[in-house]
Amino acid sequence: MLPIVWLQAAVNDLSSIILYISNENPSAARRLKSRLQAAPLPLVEHPYLFPLGRVSGTRELVAHPNYIIVYRIASDRVEIVNVLHSRQTYPLT
């Protein structure tokens, strides 16, 4: 079993998303935050569960129709790299 570690960029992404939504609908923001935080939990036991990502070495978990969690598998943990809106251009080139 591998622990899940949220990298600072992913924490910042999640915070920005929740702040934006909470300005219009605080209860929806709370529900979305819970959903996005819970979505990676199966990775503890099944890190290869989701498909390869657009960036080499990553995988992508569609946590919500509008949000994708980008993660990578390290030797000793699963790292949450980014949380993206599905319409967001990624990777930035």
pLDDT in tens, 34-78: 999 999 999 999 999 999 999 999 999 999 999 999 999 999 999
- Main-chain phi, psi angles of 78, to 5 degrees: -105, 125
pLDDT in tens, 1-12: 999 999 999 999
Domain membership flag for residue 59? yes
Domain membership flag for residue 91? no
Separation CA 24–CA 9 (nearest Å): 24
Q: Are 82 and 9 in contact (CB under 8 A)?
A: yes
Which residues are bridge partners to 79 per DSSP?
A: 5, 72
Domain membership flag for residue 93? no
Q: Is the pLDDT of residue 93 over 90?
A: no
CATH assignment at residue 32: 3.30.2310.20
Other CB atoms within a 10 A radius of the CB of residue 29 amount to 17
Residue 4's identity, in one-letter code, is I
pLDDT in tens, 22-37: 999 999 999 999 999 9
pLDDT at 92: 76
pTM for the complete prediction? 0.94
Q: How far is CA 73 from the centre of its chain?
A: 13
State the residue range of the domain holding 27: 4-85
